[in-house]
Amino acid sequence: MSDIEMPILPEMADVWQQTLGWQPDSEQQKLFQQLYELILAGNRQLNLTRITSPEEFWEKHLWDSLRGIFSQKSEKIAGLSGKAIDIGTGAGFPGIPIAIAFPNYTVSLLDATRKKIAFLENTTSELGLTNVNTITGRAEEIGQYPSDRNAYNLALIRAVAEPSVCAEYALPLLKRGGLAILYRGQWTTEENDTLQPALEKLGGIVESIEEFTTPCSGSIRHCLYLRKVAPTPREFPRAVGVPAQKPL
């Protein structure tokens, strides 16, 4: 696989440092490279991602995944340890870069598609990541399982559904006091208005919203930080498909 161009581009060390105040060590750099190669190889069999050029992979998969956790409250998130869950992880984003960068977190990669989970099992085994496990299933079901409900310190969710649906997937999985990070593109007042009543029902609040510009393409992105401040009523998440069909 060594013929594939290096995506992590050593010159990006400064960009990591300037934008996140962090940069991968040589072992983490090697793991990011291996991850890129495994995803390119997996893409030949599975439709994993359209983001395949080295620069785009670096920015949209690696940097973007980590930007969410290096928030202005980074010490409160990155410095903690515990259980994280990546809901609708797809090819492993943002969960795998976070597991590589923060071995203090145990990261569960959840996806409804069995083939993607099989790919992720193979990938995390190849990478030798001991702080990652996988779950095949729908967030609506997993959120009602006693082993997963109220079990996580951190829930990550990127490119899965509209914000109130993401909140219904994520909040039941969090311990009280836990944090959900919703990775968004644009953030509109309309989305804000629809999220608020959902959060009231689910026991969450918006702790902060951060807008940022990506370092290569200059795209605007947002991260929403939702804190679970009260228990989520037993009826949530609702049955499979209902959150998306009838958002709260």
Is residue 139 within the footprint of ligand SAM (CB under 6 A)? yes
**Known binder of ligand: residue 214?**
no
Nearest to 139 by CA among 153, 155, 122: 155
Specify the stretch interacting with ligand SAM by CB under 6 A; choose among 120-128, 143-151, 158-166, 216-224. Answer: 158-166
Task: Give the amino acid at 106.
Answer: T
Question: Is residue 19 helix, strand or coil?
Answer: helix
90, 163, 204, 215: which one contacts ligand SAM (CB under 6 A)? 90
Tokens linked to 225: 């930080």
* Site track 110-129 with ligand SAM (rule: CB under 6 A), x = hit: xxxx--x-------------
Is residue 109 within the footprint of ligand SAM (CB under 6 A)? no
Tell me the C-alpha distance between 174 and 213, whole Å. Answer: 28
**Known binder of ligand: residue 194?**
no
CA of residue 102 relative to chain centroid, distance: 13
Is residue 42 within the footprint of ligand SAM (CB under 6 A)? no
Those residues with Cβ within 8 angstroms of residue 86's Cβ, 6 or more apart along the chain or in another chain: 92, 93, 94, 95, 98, 107, 108, 109, 110, 156, 157
Specify the stretch interacting with ligand SAM by CB under 6 A; choose among 32-40, 106-114, 185-193, 207-215. Answer: 106-114
Is 113 or 192 the residue whose CB approaches ligand SAM more closely? 113
Specify the stretch interacting with ligand SAM by CB under 6 A; choose among 21-29, 35-43, 107-115, 210-218. Answer: 107-115
32, 36, 93, 236: which one contacts ligand SAM (CB under 6 A)? 93
Is residue 186 within the footprint of ligand SAM (CB under 6 A)? no
**Known binder of ligand: residue 178?**
no
Give ∠ CA 63-136-61 in degrees, rounded to 5. Answer: 10
**Full 3-state SS string of 173-193:** HEEEEEEEEEEECCCCHHHHH
Residue ranges of the annotated binding site for S-adenosyl-L-methionine are 88, 93, 111-113, 139-140, 158
